[in-house]
Amino acid sequence: MSHDPNCIFCKIVAGQIPSKKVYEDEQVLVFHDIHPWAPVHILLIPKLHIPSLVEVTGEHAALLGHMSTLAPRLMKELGVTNGFRTVINTGPDGGQEVYHLHMHAMGGPRPWLKG
């Protein structure tokens, strides 16, 4: 499995940096965002180091499908009942800050409005 020793998310996956874990399996780690934009804001990250969505190929289809079907289940388990938003920021113009593919899932009242 690919790993970047300088990547903060790879360090979280390796247990070198603590996180408030929500879920983990052989493919992904899910944890609460440290700077939430909504009452519930989690990050779904693959354990495989993929720098961004631009790097995704057909071989990653099952992984992205897993992340996409996991998000609604976890949001429901976390008490989000009135909808949520998923976002994958890609590249500098897309607002990506950490270059390890990750999906934000944000729920609660108007999670996209930063106050």
Residue 115 has a pLDDT of 57
Nearest to 51 by CA among 103, 105, 102: 102
Catalytically active residues, by annotation: 102
Asked whether residue 2 carries a pLDDT value surpassing 90, the answer given is no
Whether 24 has a pLDDT exceeding 70, the answer reads yes
Per-residue pLDDT tens digits for 50-94 = 999 999 999 999 999 999 999 999 999 999 999 999 999 999 999
Q: Which CATH number fits domain 8-107: 3.40.50.1820, 3.30.428.10, 3.40.50.1970, 1.10.260.40?
A: 3.30.428.10
The pTM is what? 0.92
Work out the mean pLDDT of the chain and round it to a whole number: 93
pLDDT at 21 over 90: yes
Q: Where are the domains of the chain?
A: 8-107
